[in-house]
Amino acid sequence: MSRLVSALRASATSTSSSASPTEAADAVLAVRRAARHAPVRTACLEESAAAAFLLATRKLAVVWCHGIAADPVRLHAWVQTVDGDTVVEPPSTLAYTPALTIGARHQHHS
């Protein structure tokens, strides 16, 4: 996990503008489509990180989130726009409290 966090932090510093909601959604959906053909585990952690990396290759910023929900305790990872909107996530994601966020949540780039 520490390597993933380091890589996400490094990629976040290379962005120069905020991904639009459409750009962010397109990246998440592209990763999910590709993951269906991968011979390895691809769940929320891998998908959200891959989407953040994909957008960073285009210098577009999102916020990567890793959160926790209680009763029962469960973890989830997702991306959200710089404005704080979740990207292609079910309403149940709102039950998670972000424990770690990477990206410029409050910075607006044009």
Q: Delimit the domains of the chain by residue range.
A: 2-102
pLDDT tens column, 31-42: 999 999 999 889
Work out the average pLDDT over 45-61.
Answer: 97
Work out the average pLDDT over 98-106.
Answer: 82
Mean pLDDT over all residues of the chain? 93
Cα dihedral 50/52/54/56 (nearest 10)? -150
Specify the amino acid at residue 25: A
Kindly indicate the confidence band of residue 105, based on its pLDDT and cuts at 50, 70 and 90: low
CA distance 55 to 19: 7
CA distance 10 to 22: 24
Bond before 90 cis per omega within 30 degrees: no
